[in-house]
Amino acid sequence: MAMHSMNMAVANLRSPILTANVNSSCKNPCFKYAESTYIKQPPNLFSSYEYLDVHVNFQANKDDAGRDLFCYMTDNGLQSPTMRVKQGEHLVFTLTNNYVNPNTVSIHTNMTGVNTTMMCGGKKVTVSSTNIHFHGAHTEPVCHGDEVVETIVNSGETFTYDIHFPPSQPPGLFWYHPHVHGFSDDAVKGGATGAVVVEGIENYVPAVGGLPEQIFVFRELTIPTGSIPTNATNVPANDIRVNDIPIYYPHYNPALLEIKPNQKQFWRVLNSGSSMVLNLQLQFDGVVQPLELVSLDGSAVNSQDATQMGKTITKQNIVIPPAGRAEFIITGPSCKVKEAILYTLKVETGFFGENDPTRPVIKLLPLKDAKDPEVIIPMPSKQIVALSPLEELYKKTPTKTRELYFSFAFTNGIEFYITSKGATPEAFSMRSRPAIVTSQDEVEDWVIENQSAELHHFHIHQMHFLLLEINGTAVSAEQMQYRDTVVVPAWSGSGPYPSVKIRIDFSLVPAGSFVYHCHILFHEDNGMMAIIKVLPKSNSGLTTSTSSSSSSSNHGILNQISTGSFVGDVVTIIVVGVLLLVGVTYASILCARKQHEKLEKKEKASQLSDDLESISLDRNIQFSLGDNVEKAPPSNLRANVQPPSLVNLYTPCENLPQYV
Ligand SMILES: [Cu+2]
């Protein structure tokens, strides 16, 4: 971190952007803590003089169970730090890609026919390519900004992002992660995620002023196939880890959190999994505790209505889709509470959806001498009564309505789509042109339907949108919040398709091209993404398209053969039939595909070059560092042996349990 001036930042960006600078100094990359250990906060990096200037390495590793792990590490060994900036400030994020993969020479098939002269950074996409998306930032989708389609950072290369959070950026919890089409699922599931905090939420929701802050970054961890007993039931799609403490199936020993008795804390939860849905509930001795919801997706609740601004919403459980965030106030257990547990409850994901069962994730231990977290939220410096300019969008009249839908088909194995009604479904590729063109003149309502029996999670870059309806019914005042990611429920196989209706004020959105997609990243990698192009305000003389006419020549041709309602009905019937017939096949294909990918990776791993051998040497010292870094592989924990738990040594409010 360094003091920075605007000129220095600009000069930095004008210097050569790609250098052969593989930093091999990152030791112990992508470590995990042992299960049932105390939660530590991710390291914090704070802005200074309007800039946060960081150098971060994209690192890869494998654990002893053979899982691919990915993470970000600073040169001095901070793993996946939280970037803390204020409204109006810059995050200057220099990324070095240290991921070496023997398959690097093979170019992603999506690149065929791509005009690489238009690309920013690397000119090819391989399995070791990476880049960064700053999720939820209201910033420009340009080269060196928050642009994910044409920006590629290949192995050994260094690239600098300058992310300007505008003064109107809602303060709250955001995050960063790789977003290379075709490879985002593995990287995010492997753990390459970190939090971004835009400071100042206390001025919007004064109730958080003075509270200790806990950031919880939830990630996934694949379950090695061979470790699951043959008679196992209710196996989750993935294990969960919170702040890099794993919670392994089947015993689900939660991570431990020490907290002063009855203490109020401000919890900021990021679901950075690539597919899991969290459904958080806090229970003390089986009694559900209130969660005072402060913010969703980094936007204070009740921002849509100046008369309610600053008021929290009392919830018994909070659903957080992959990529979503929830910030809320909890009150810690008293000394009389014997068991205080934060659970994630089972989520209905649809017939084809993954299994996200009920699991304990954090056990709260009231301790009189509990240490406070590093960050205490400041007291409000001013009371802001409306989150300008997002306020009162619900009162505006939309200038345009669009209809989109999620679907999939067994093309090229399996493809996933997000399609504007009337257009032909098309899996996203690096060649894709904008599917929607609009302008900053428009206020648009989008109805997004789910025509498949698995839920999807709609996300659009560079903005927040307002949730208006679910399944054609206006949502309650409590649900009508600004978000950047929203669940679109699964279709049951009969009846109307589930849908959500959202409103976007494009006058508040940066001009340029960016993407919208499902945030189940396996779906995104396999096509469920499209580009929207936002033109500047109308005095430029440019025109915009409607939902049934796109500026893209491809889409224009497809629209000429768009279907009518009768054909639409026939298609619906066919879709129903296909869904019923191929349900089991679909699941088998997914399993087989995953299995095949794992085998491929195993084969490739056996061809590792000297580069990877050196990484392997690093790995040998990985588990000797740190008090609670995981030393034993988790595979033995799948057996019917309950590992020892620190909790057995614990007496509420008296003794601080020691590590064993
Ligand atoms: Cu999806």
Q: Which domain CATH number covers 204?
A: 2.60.40.420
> What spacing in Å lies between the alpha carbon of 412 and ligand 1's midpoint?
17
Whether 403 and 529 share a structural domain: yes
Residues 100, 194: one domain? yes
Task: For residue 21, give the nearest of 209, 153, 117 by alpha carbon.
Answer: 153
Residue 621 pLDDT level (bands cut at 50, 70, 90): very low
Average pLDDT over residues 517-532: 96
First to last CA, the chain: 37
- Note whether residue 73 is domain-resident: yes
CA dihedral for 279, 283, 287, 292, sign (positive or negative): negative
SS3 for 553-592, per residue?
A: HHHHHHHHCCCCHHHHHHHHHHHHHHHHHHHHHHHHHHHH
| Count of the separate structural domains present in the chain | 2
pLDDT at position 617: 26
The pLDDT of residue 436: 97
Task: Measure the CA–CA gap between 290 and 36, rounded to whole angstroms.
Answer: 25
In DSSP terms, which residues pair with 446 in a beta bridge?
Answer: 402, 502
Ligand 1 centre from 490 Cα, in Å? 10
Q: Give residue 455 CA to ligand 1 midpoint distance, Å.
A: 6
Distance from the CA of 458 to the center of ligand 1, in angstroms? 8
Residue 403 has pLDDT above 80, yes or no: yes
> Model confidence over 579-619: pLDDT tens digits?
444 444 444 444 444 444 443 433 333 332 222 222 222 32
Cα(66) to ligand 1 centroid in Å equals 27
Instruction: Give the mean model confidence (pLDDT) for residues 523-532.
Output: 95
The confidence score (pLDDT) of residue 110 equals 61
CA of 598 to the centre of ligand 1 (A): 21
Cα(350) to centroid of ligand 1, in Å? Answer: 12
Query: What confidence score (pLDDT) does residue 21 get?
Result: 37
Q: What is the pLDDT of residue 126?
A: 86
Q: How far apart are CA 520 and CA 503, in angstroms?
A: 22
Looking at every residue in the chain, the average pLDDT score rounds to: 81
Q: Which residues contact 554 (CB under 8 A, 6 or more apart)?
A: 426, 433
Measured CA to CA, the distance from residue 151 to residue 142 in angstroms comes to: 9
601 against 31, higher pLDDT: 31
Output the CA 518–ligand 1 centroid distance in Å: 4
Final residue in a domain of this structure, among 489, 513, 540: 540
pLDDT over 70 at 319, yes or no: yes
Instruction: Output the CA 417–ligand 1 centroid distance in Å.
Output: 9
> Is there a single domain that holds both residue 251 and residue 144?
yes
> Would you report the helix, strand and coil content of the chain in percent, each value rounded to 5?
20, 30, 50
Q: What is the mean pLDDT of residues 166-177?
A: 96
Pairing relation of β-strands 172-177 and 213-221?
unpaired
The CA distance from 525 to 75, in Å, is 30
Inter-residue contact 317 to 279 (CB < 8 Å):
yes
The angle at the Cα of 221, spanning 217 to 226, to the nearest 5 degrees, equals: 165
Domain with 488 in it? 389-540
Identify whether the C-beta of residue 210 lies closer than 8 Å to the C-beta of residue 380.
no
Calculate how far, in angstroms, residue 650's C-alpha sits from the geometric centre of ligand 1. 43
Q: Examine the domain organization and report whether 14 and 158 are in the same domain.
A: yes
Tell me how far the alpha carbon of residue 427 lies from the centroid of ligand 1, in angstroms.
Answer: 12
Q: How far is the CA of 569 from the centre of ligand 1 (A)?
A: 23
235 CA to middle of ligand 1, Å? 21
Each residue's pLDDT tens digit, 64-75: 888 999 999 999
Mean pLDDT calculated for residue range 481-489 = 96
CA–centroid distance, residue 318 to ligand 1 (Å): 20
Confidence label for 656 from pLDDT (cuts 50, 70 and 90): low
Domain assignment present for 440: yes
For residue 105, what pLDDT is reported? 54
- Between the CA of 47 and the centroid of ligand 1 the distance, in Å, is 35
User: Measuring CA to CA, which residue among 453, 455, 450, 475 is closest to residue 465?
Assistant: 475
347 in the same domain as 470: no
Answer yes or no: is pLDDT of 205 > 80: yes
Percent of the chain whose predicted confidence (pLDDT) is above 90? 65
Does one domain contain both 148 and 253? yes
* 22 and 80 both lie in a single domain: yes
Q: What is the pLDDT of residue 11?
A: 30
Size of the chain, expressed as the number of residues it contains? 660
CA of 322 relative to ligand 1 center, distance in Å: 10
Q: Kindly give the distance from the C-alpha atom of residue 641 to the centroid of ligand 1, in angstroms, as a whole number.
A: 36
Lookup: tokens for 373: 């977290």
Whether 223 shows a pLDDT value over 70: the answer reads yes
Q: Using the mean position of ligand 1's atoms as its centre, give its distance from the Cα of residue 453 in Å.
A: 10
The phi and psi torsions of 111 (rounded to 5 degrees) equal -80, -15
- Spacing, Cα 523 to ligand 1 middle (Å): 5
Is the CB of residue 552 less than 8 Å from the CB of residue 435?
Answer: yes
CA 232–ligand 1 middle distance (angstroms): 27
In a shared domain, residues 156 and 283: yes
Residue 611 located in a structural domain: no
- 108 alpha carbon to ligand 1 midpoint, in Å? 21
The alpha carbon of 522 and the centre of ligand 1 are apart by a number of angstroms equal to 8
Do both 372 and 394 map to the same domain? no
Q: How far is ligand 1, taken at its centre, from the CA of residue 375, in Å? A: 35
**In-domain check, residue 404:** yes
Tell me the CA–centroid distance for residue 338 and ligand 1, in Å.
40
Among all chains, which residue has been given the structure tokens 């997706």?
297
CA of 301 to the centre of ligand 1 (A): 26
Can you tell me the mean pLDDT for 142-152? 93
The one-letter amino acid code at 65 reads A
CA 459 to centroid of ligand 1, rounded, Å: 10
Which pLDDT band, with edges at 50, 70 and 90, does 643 fall under?
Answer: very low
List 328's β-bridge partners, or say none: 267, 293
Greater model confidence, 232 or 442: 442
Range in 298-302, 428-432, 526-530 the model is least confident about = 428-432
Question: What is the per-residue pLDDT for 604?
Answer: 34
Backbone angles phi, psi at 167, to 5 degrees: -55, -25
* Boundary-marking domain end, from 381, 413, 442: 381
CA of residue 352 to ligand 1 center, whole Å: 11
pLDDT value for 222: 94
Work out the percent of the chain whose per-residue pLDDT is above 70.
76
Q: What is the pLDDT of residues 99-136, one digit of tens each?
A: 988 765 556 656 667 777 778 888 888 889 999 999 99
> Residue 414 C-alpha to ligand 1 middle, in angstroms?
13
In this structure, are 411 and 506 located in the same domain? yes
Among 362, 381, 400, residue at a domain's last position = 381
When mean pLDDT is compared over 118-122, 343-347, 638-642, the highest value belongs to 343-347
Closest by CA position to 177, among listed 162, 165, 192 = 192
Ligand 1 center from residue 426 Cα (angstroms): 14
Residue 502 falls inside a structural domain:
yes
Instruction: Give this prediction's pTM.
Output: 0.82
Confidence of residue 649 (pLDDT cuts 50, 70, 90): low
Q: In the 8-state DSSP scheme, what is residue 48?
A: B
Q: What is the pLDDT of residue 550?
A: 33
The model's pLDDT over 385-397, given as tens digits with 9 standing for 90+, comes to: 777 677 789 999 9
DSSP-based three-state secondary structure for 315 = strand
CA of 60 to the centre of ligand 1 (A): 26
Distance 510 CA to ligand 1 centre (A): 26
Question: Within 13 Å, how many C-alpha atoms sit on residue 627's CB side?
Answer: 7
CB atoms closer than 10 angstroms to residue 631 = 11
66-75, 123-132, 344-353, 545-554, range with the lowest pLDDT:
545-554
Q: Looking at the domain assignment, is residue 419 inside a domain?
A: yes
Statement to judge: residues 360 and 505 lie in one domain: no
For 494-564, where are the alpha helices, taking DSSP H only? 521-525, 553-560
CA count, 13 A, side-chain hemisphere, 104:
20
Give the Å distance between the CA of 589 and the centre of ligand 1.
16
Does residue 25 lie within any of the structural domains? yes
DSSP 8-state symbol, 20: -
Shared domain check, 291 and 187: yes
**Of the listed ranges 324-333, 513-522, 623-632, the one predicted with least confidence:** 623-632
Supply φ then ψ for residue 594, to 5 degrees.
-60, -45
Mean pLDDT value of segment 198-224: 96
Instruction: Please give the residue that has the higher pLDDT: either 592 or 98.
Output: 98
Q: Is residue 163 part of a domain?
A: yes
In this structure, which amino acid lies at residue 541?
G
Number of neighbours of residue 283 by Cβ within 10 angstroms = 17
Most confidently predicted of 14-18, 411-415, 580-584, 626-630: 411-415
Are the CB atoms for 658 and 648 separated by under 8 Å? no
Position 90 scores a pLDDT of 97
